[in-house]
Structure 1
Amino acid sequence: MAKPRSAPVLDRELADLPPAVRWRQWMGRVEAVIFASPQPVGREDLAKLVGEGANLDLLIDDIRAELVDRPYDLVAVAGRWQHRTRPAFAGAIRASELTAAPRPELTPLEATVLLAIGYFQPVTRGELSKMFGREVSRDLIANLRSDGFVGTGPRSPQPGAPYTYVTTPGFLEHFGFQTLRDLPDLEMLEDAGLLSKARLLAEDLQAVPGEGEGEDDAVEEAEDISVFGGAFDD
């Protein structure tokens, strides 16, 4: 039986190199691994490539400085690093039709519900329905879960202990957010009349009928919320 191949031993310290050359080597390693990875790369993985005394933040800063005139950049997404093309070239990329993996298509309603989950998480489906003044269906939540944008949070202390929903790192990665603080301004939602935090917190708000029912006409008002159709565009 063949023995499993062991990982190659990497000289992280490069102690035999002059400091300037050593730094350039570390920069090259970090950029190469990020470039080769189909997913954003975390700090823990990058730390395995460089010496104990290397400052990853400064290495990233130096890499980004060299990319300033390039059509792509090294960006932080969900606490990890990934190469991303610059927004100015989005039109050319779309025209080329060469994008490797098109992102899931979200309806305007799905995009807005996803925003609401991002702002108010952990939040129940009933609370989302109250915010929108209509039922947010199980099917809609299931679509967001299958796309990797939403996960299950803790049970709510409300009667019946309904599930809550939270956004995932995949949500941040997909839309290029470093943290939830990068979400569009909440006032956009309230000014457009799409949801109201005050309404959600109103004590006399009645539960939306049909909480457990399937979706009936949840996407028929797409035109009314089309303002968010481009909320996550490049």
Structure 2
Amino acid sequence: MSDQEQLFDLRAADDAASHPIRETPSEAERTHMRLCEALIFAAAEPLGEEEMAKRLPQGADLAKALANLKAEYFGRGVNLVRVGKRWFFRTAPDLAWALQREQVEPKKLSRAAMETLAIIAYHQPCTRAEIEDIRGVALSKGTMDVLLETGWVRLRGRRRAPGRPVTYGTTDKFLLHFGLEQISDLPGLDDLKAAGLFDGRLPKGFGVPQPNDGSALMEDEEPLGEEPLADAFASDLPESDAAD
């Protein structure tokens, strides 16, 4: 006999030993059972005995109706359960394995991540220093990690400049998520004004760059080669951030 079969036999023996003793309910008692069943089933949360008693006919034995109903559901896929003086239906514990499912829980990006993503989208390829210069605050490693993990941002290469800083750009997954065919479909300043995102009182000289897919308009870069992404990013951070 397999371990699974032995476990099934043990559960069956436990069920038989703990099965409540049932008496055949009268017609009136069955009506009271059905009323309780309907009330508990329709309740959005565990239903209290006082609430059920108010809805049963005068003289009805609520305790007996619930006991009979609990016995009725014993051994089924759904059981009647009591917590304190509240009752509710719950899936049988031994069937939990069959109902388990994995669900991806979406996480909302932080404001810092959204700002960084927007800067990369409009200014790509751009370096960490350029992102910090536009935002006016330091860029944490965690913020960039989140964007890299979503697959919306990638490491493009190294800028041919002193220090050879890493540059960042968006991916096809970014376009797919935001419903864009190409990066130039991002809204420009006129589009943002038309959408009511600016009230017209803009600083003198304020503008929104127009993204362009043409590689000739982007600064020259060097490929990262075989350098791991984590190492490439860490080398682009000051010691205090790279150690996090």
TM-score by length of 2: 0.36
| Structure number with higher relative contact order (C-alpha < 8 Å, ≥ 6 residues apart) | 1
Q: Which one has a bigger Cα radius of gyration?
A: 2
